[in-house]
Structure 1
């Protein structure tokens, strides 16, 4: 049995029946001579539409050095449901966009009692995605 498995593994595997893979588990896949590139630009564009960011101006800088997101107890609380939906969507997106992982992690800390500053920060991340849709790994 092991010998058959070894023979299969040593032969060149060809996917002539299936063709080239374009999508895998929600990731867009592009195969080139240099390697395999993945992105989730389609999903990012869906998020921009879903959370009504398409009319807002895109940004090229994800976080400023003076960007402060804290509990903000004096600010008005917002719906935790919508905030959690945004954060959950962004967390899924970090699979192909590690550049947003830190900022999303900071925002994720405030899911139990989000304030207006927190949703503004989450929308800023979405605006960054709008300005950088085609970055690939």
Structure 2
């Protein structure tokens, strides 16, 4: 079995059979102009660190490049934070706010621990106020204190499918909608 992922002009591949990888690499090099970078260590901003007992994926280089001088925070959002439209709040630069949210959304690929706070703040991209910016800056301060967090995919942890879910019933102050989220693990490996 061989797995291939192509994104624009980047390609990664792997197989359960090393000879199949070599064959595929030769086929690709014969038909396309490409250079082999060796074992996967960096792909689309994700740092991949293979170990004997699993693989660690993080975005610490991206986090460090993203952050300015700020003091770290222990959590991505203060509990119990309830953001609302803040109609009387001071307006902030919308393009800067959207850029910050975009950076955070990209980081959720390896940082599921910031997903809830990021998506809560993302709701206010159309008309961000100072209170929303303060919440986003708190997430960045949290990242500053935890730049090397990521996802660990251990080997040989079985194939039991386990799910966890949480919900905030009618917790949105604007429309009283519920917010929920879930994680699914295959063994001890996060898959969704």
Partner of 1:123, secondary structure, is: helix
> How far apart in 2 are the matches of 1:25 and 1:11?
25
Residue 37 (structure 1) aligns with? 56
| TM-score calculated relative to the size of structure 1 | 0.83
**Alpha-carbon deviation of 1:18?**
4.3
| 2:18 counterpart of 1:12 | yes
| TM-score calculated relative to the size of structure 2 | 0.60
Larger relative helix fraction: 1
> How far apart in 1 are the matches of 2:66 and 2:57?
18
> How far apart in 1 are the matches of 2:17 and 2:117?
45
**Alpha-carbon deviation of 1:105?**
0.2
Runs of 4+ with deviation above 4 angstroms: none
Larger relative strand fraction: 2
1:18-50 per-position Cα deviation (integer Å, ceiling 9, x unaligned): 43221012101101011111100110111103x
The count of aligned residue pairs is 124
Q: Which runs of 5+ in 1 are unaligned?
A: 1-8
| Greater RCO structure (CA 8 Å; 6+ sep) | 1
| Distance verdict in 2 for CA 1:88–1:11, change over 3 Å | closer
> How far apart in 2 are the matches of 1:10 and 1:35?
15
Partner of 1:43, secondary structure, is: helix
Compute the RMSD of aligned alpha carbons: 1.9
